[in-house]
Amino acid sequence: MHSSLWLTALLVVPLAGALVAMLVRDREGRAYLVAVVTASVEMVLALFVAVLYNDHIAKAQTFDFATRHVLAAPFGLAYDVALDGISLLMVVLTAIVVLLALLGARDRRREPAFVSWLLILTSMTMGSFIAHDLLLFFIFFELTLVPCYFIISQWGGAERGKAALKFFIYTFTASAFLLIGILYLGFLHQHQTGGALSFAYGALSTTSMTHSTAIWLFVAFAIAFGAKAPIWPLHTWSPLTYAEAPTAGSIELSALLAKLGSYGLLRFAVGLLPLALPDMRPVVMTLAVIGILYGSALACVALDLKRFVAYSSLAQMGFITLGVMAGSKIATVGAVLLMFNHGIITIGFFLIIGYIETRRGSIQIRDFNGLQGPAPVMAALFTLVMLASIGLPGLSGFVSEYLILIGTFATHAWWGVFGAFGVVAAALYLLWAYQRVFHGRAVGANATMTDVTSKERWALVPVVVLIVALGVFPKPVLDRISPSVQQLIEHVAPSGVSK
């Protein structure tokens, strides 16, 4: 067991960085420098934690770095953090996302405030992933809304106000169900044990409840996480929000915050309410498959590139949900891996779209044609990211989608079959969009567009490396996820349903 100070540092470092960045507003670019240094330190910390995380403990107990301090006993509020293989991957993703968002999607308008909000958001997201207590998780989960709201409403596109409001209200409303669910579970546990009010994950996972209670709680949790992820039909906020947010905001939202939804679904809805699973599995998996097909269909007809990625994300989140809910170990491991891979792939997409937007001031697909002539490197990078998203063997997307599909097929064959259509559809919409944007003969403004600069290339290097590395050699990552998933699945299905 390692010291929990590592996790606390992950929380505090971005906050400290945000404070410093806010205070050094005297000269241009200094706040940015502070932010990049902070994000780098955070990255190093996250990697350190990843190295320290000892999967040998896995045999007995997969949570590491744990601590618990009660902050307000009457409220059952406690600072309770811990890390297992699943959250470890999300912690690393969080650190990567903020670093790349800063490096690749710099926004010079009122930079100190912008980078401060980004760093605060990082801290809150870290908190959500390392929280080992439902109330603490909820607090961080809600808190991510505030920086997001300000980032969208102040640095977004023309309809930023509307998008920010829609995003906030949508998620806030959905999380009302989560809070009520958490409170209900906490009191149920307290009434059973007669002890103090507590929302500790470990304690609550032993709560016994009736079948119908489990169903209600699952529905409440699923609404909150489904809106965040987003799962069809709770996705309607996402296209507008992704399109209007500044590039860094879109990256944070789709690469990272969406994962809060699927992570919460796995950790809290599936992990704490196994009784509801037999009934809820078909429902949520059906929604996931609808999301895959619906997202793919709309991605085909999306008019601008950001909405295009938003709909393709809906499809990808459908795959993740499928894996999370399928109940087999392979599918769940695949889902966790896809959370990470989709995050990296989305960073790639949004960074490139951001580059195009700064050059052309437009993201409308019909404005582009034949970009691979003037910008071959950009086209090549886009191709790589796109192929990873399609699931080409040898790239990261393939491993995770493959695991999800075979896992799902083993337990829920028909959902696996219809989900697999999503892979075909992904090839369709991605290649078609690629053709429209990059193929053909470039004329007018398209012909004079410059290729990616070396600075922009460097921001994409980690994306490319991760896409290839995790496609060829995902074992180190899988080794860290598997024991944690195993433990979760065993808890959910003690009779050994896992395959």
Partner 1 sequence: MKIAIPHIHYLAIAPVLILFGAALVLLFATALVRTKVSQRIATLVTVTASAAVLVVTYFQWRCIDQVGATTTIAHAIVLDGFSVVATGVIAASLLMASLVAHDWAVRERIAGVEYQILALASTAGAVLMTQANDLVVIFLGLEILSIGLYVLVAFDRQRATSAEAALKYFLLGGFASAIFIYGAALVYGATGSTNLSSISYFLGSNVLLRPGLLYAGGALLLVGFAFKVAAVPFHLWSPDVYEGAPTPVTGFMASVVKVGAFAALVRVLISSLGTQMDTWRPILWVLIVLTTLVGASLALVQRNAKRMLAYSSINHAGFMLVGVWAGTVRGIAGTLFYIVTYAPTVVATFAIVTLMGGLGDENHSIDSYRGLARRQPWLGASLGVLLLSQLGAPLTTGFYAKYAVLASALDSGGAPVALIALLSAAIAAFFYLRWTMALYAEDTIEATRVVVPASTGVAIGLGVAMTLVFGVWPGPLAALAQHATVLFTP
Residues in the site for partner 1, rule: CB under 8 A? 71-77, 139-140, 142-143, 145-146, 149-150, 153-154, 161, 164-165, 168-169, 172-173, 176-177, 179-180, 183-184, 186-187, 197
Q: CB 175 → partner 1: shortest distance, Å?
A: 9
Closest to partner 1 by CB, 164 or 345: 164
Q: CB 220 → partner 1: shortest distance, Å?
A: 9
Burial class from Cβ neighbours inside 10 Å (0-12, 13-18, 19+) for residue 454 reads exposed
Transcribe 315-363 into DSSP letters. HHHHHHHHHHHH--HHHHHHHHHHHHHHHHHHHHHHHHHHHHHHHHS--
Angstrom CA distances, 354 to 50, 112, 317, 433, stand at 30, 20, 22, 16
- What lies within 8 Å, CB to CB, of 84 at 6+ separation is 62, 63, 64, 484, 487
Cα distance from N-terminal residue to C-terminal residue, the chain:
29
Q: What is the DSSP letter of 303?
A: S
Closest to partner 1 by CB, 184 or 432: 184
Closest to partner 1 by CB, 215 or 356: 215
Q: CB 150 → partner 1: shortest distance, Å?
A: 7
Closest to partner 1 by CB, 13 or 220: 220
Closest to partner 1 by CB, 176 or 290: 176
- What lies within 8 Å, CB to CB, of 318 at 6+ separation is 231, 232, 288, 289, 290, 291, 292, 295, 419, 422
Q: CB 350 → partner 1: shortest distance, Å?
A: 24
Count of H-run helices and E-run strands, the chain: 21, 2
Q: Are the C-beta atoms of 406 and 399 separated by less than 8 Å?
A: no
Cis bond leading into 374, ω under 30°?
Answer: no
Closest to partner 1 by CB, 119 or 478: 119
Closest to partner 1 by CB, 54 or 192: 192
Closest to partner 1 by CB, 146 or 445: 146
Q: Helices 160-193 and 211-228: crossing angle, nearest 10°?
A: 160
Alpha carbons 187 and 183: distance in angstroms, whole number? 6
Q: CB 29 → partner 1: shortest distance, Å?
A: 20
Alpha carbons 407 and 270: distance in angstroms, whole number? 16
Closest CA to 280 of 205, 332, 210, 218: 218
Q: CB 154 → partner 1: shortest distance, Å?
A: 6
Alpha carbons 162 and 383: distance in angstroms, whole number? 33
Q: CB 310 → partner 1: shortest distance, Å?
A: 22
Q: What are phi and psi of 68, to 5 degrees?
A: -150, 120
Closest to partner 1 by CB, 119 or 425: 119
Q: CB 172 → partner 1: shortest distance, Å?
A: 5
Q: CB 201 → partner 1: shortest distance, Å?
A: 18
Q: Are the C-beta atoms of 42 and 7 separated by less than 8 Å?
A: no
